[in-house]
Structure 1
Amino acid sequence: MDTLESLRRKLGGAGDLKSVVRTMKTMAASNIGQYESAVNSLGDYYRTVTLGILAFFSEQDINLKEEDLTSKKNDSKSICAIVFGSDQGLVGPFNDSLSDFVSNSLQEFPGEKEIWVVGERIQFRLMDLGLNVTKLFSVPNSVNAITVLVREILIKSLENFETEEMKEYYLFHNQPKPPTGYKSVMQKLLPLEKKWLHVLDVQKWPTKNLPQVAGGKESTLKALIREFLFVSLFKASAESSVSENSSRLAAMQRAEKNIDEMLDDLGGKFHHRRQSAIDEELFDLISGFEALKEDPKT
């Protein structure tokens, strides 16, 4: 049976743990707000980039039909998957569920495959699944650090794409799923996705004044595609961070609930034990008093 002192220590420890959980909840909620703001701020910029690509193809009188701008099926093509994971703890099955999704998705693609990962923990998980992990990038710890990560990935991907070492690039990350939680998603990065090109084809320039391409056509198109890739990678990383912190927030909420239940249980035991000790002392006092009354010498 627990003593009063041991129960007091447990209550103190649970209270300290609750303070830590509350701090982590606050940090997770704050991080969610920052990364969500970053994702939302990309909306207007993404629209500007897509309108730029639309203007380029319109000015060059290029048809955006799928059969004209996408490569034919090639079973020998190589695939590079860029996977955004987490290196932080208390995120539940964040890395495990994403790793399983990546493994199952890549099984549907023929040809050689290699994996670039953001996060050391998911690297080991993917290697355990038998996937070929060739590059490791550090997980950004702030919104500003995402830009550095994206630039690093862009340099590597564009180098390989221009030399045709890789034929196709895919993004894998966890995406927030309102109102809570997340889901694993895949996006084709390069060459441009067929569905995206088809949607672009039906868009119209917002004004009557059609723009003109200034400078070299090839350099202009490369600049537009580079910005599109930047936005796509930045968005994937930011959404992954939102999902990670949402998972941590949910875990902390569950932990706080369990701690509250533990505190209630320990508090009940402590007060019951304390009352029992008081009752024993009172019984001893009363028994002693009665014994003194019955003693003829007193």
Structure 2
Amino acid sequence: MAESLEALRSRVDSAVDLQAVVRTMKAMSASGITQYENAVSALDGYFETVEQGLVACLKQTELLHNAAKSGEHVPVAVIVFGSDQGLVGQFNDTLAEFVQQKLTDITGEKKIWVVGERMYGHLQDADLALEHCFNVPGSVDGVTPLVGELLLATEHLWETGEQSPLYLFHQRPGKLSGQYKPRMHQLLPLDLRWQKALQEQVWTGPSLPETLGSTGLTLRALVREYLFVSLYQTCAESLASENSSRLVAMQRAEKNIEEMLAGLQHEYHHQRQEAIDEELFDLVAGFGE
């Protein structure tokens, strides 16, 4: 049975309203991608400064021999960056599967911190022991406080002076729009190969670097900054991937709405014309009588 003109008009109006919402969300996602990508780029210069500081320290001291501890009961810090909003496709699902797969290859007592309620739910359903759930930042301004909370939450693992392993899991943007790929990054320990590569870097300045005060204290401060920048970049990349996924979903939704709206408007005008024709026929018939 054909819908009434009033029902069709109502469906057309609803589709138009939904189209406006989708366009707004699409614009917000596009803006989000730009701001998080810019945040990552802006940190490149600071990261180079921190790295140069590490080079200066390591040129004046022996390599750190506090290698990671090993064993089934050794604490292993794991931070997973997910999403706590919808309309992101398989963003959380693919990352959760990746985390479960990779964690089986990591030995030790795993302590898992999760960013994003939806990701927390996925990992909880997989019977993983989770330490805490953090809210996903709503803007670039919220990334720094989150990174500070993550450092505070995990720093007790290094109170003994030994570097327990630290693994980061997140979605990383792909080359094309809407593409992302799960990534595992082992941030700690600062292995000897990494330290030696820094120590062997050629200093570009006119004189050899020299640290003031305690080299050990300076080195620990720089390592903390290294951790901060790495966590910040990881979080920003995850948020850029999330917004990219949402942008593609909104583009797909916008196309579907346009097709549905075109069909509804065609049906509405067709039925409206039929109603007008019927009224004209009735008038003509009545005039003839």
Aligned match for 1:144, one of 102, 118, 141: 141
The answer to whether 1:188 aligns with 2:186 is yes
* CA distance in 2 between partners of 1:112 and 1:212 (Å): 40
Segment drifting more, 48-57 vs 254-263: 48-57
Aligned match for 2:95, one of 94, 98, 109: 98
Deviation at 1:200, TM superposition (A): 3.0
Segment drifting more, 17-26 vs 135-144: 135-144
* CA distance in 2 between partners of 1:70 and 1:110 (Å): 18
What is the match of residue 57 of structure 1?
A: 58
Deviation at 1:161, TM superposition (A): 1.4
Aligned match for 1:227, one of 222, 225, 228: 225
* CA distance in 1 between partners of 2:124 and 2:192 (Å): 31
What is the match of residue 33 of structure 2?
A: 32
Q: 8 Å contact 2:58–2:199 — kept in the other structure?
A: no
The structure-2 alpha-carbon separation of the partners of 1:72 and 1:227, relative to structure 1 and needing over 3 Å to count, comes to: closer
Q: 8 Å contact 2:82–2:170 — kept in the other structure?
A: yes
> CA RMSD, aligned part only?
2.0
| Greater C-alpha Rg | 1
Q: Any gaps of 5 or more consecutive residues in structure 1?
A: 293-298
The answer to whether 1:128 aligns with 2:125 is yes
Report the residue type matching 2:207 in the other structure.
Answer: N
What is the match of residue 117 of structure 1?
A: 114
Q: TM-score, normalised by structure 1?
A: 0.89
Q: Any gaps of 5 or more consecutive residues in structure 2?
A: none
The answer to whether 1:23 aligns with 2:21 is no
Q: TM-score, normalised by structure 2?
A: 0.92
Segment drifting more, 6-15 vs 80-89: 80-89
Aligned match for 1:286, one of 280, 284, 287: 284
Counterparts of 1:121-270 in structure 2, within 5 Å, are 121-163=118-160, 167-180=164-177, 181-192=179-190, 196-197=194-195, 199-270=197-268
Q: 8 Å contact 1:70–1:194 — kept in the other structure?
A: no
SS in 2 for 1:186: strand
Count of residues in correspondence between the two structures: 286
Identity of aligned residues (%): 49
SS in 1 for 2:59: helix
Q: 8 Å contact 1:140–1:149 — kept in the other structure?
A: yes
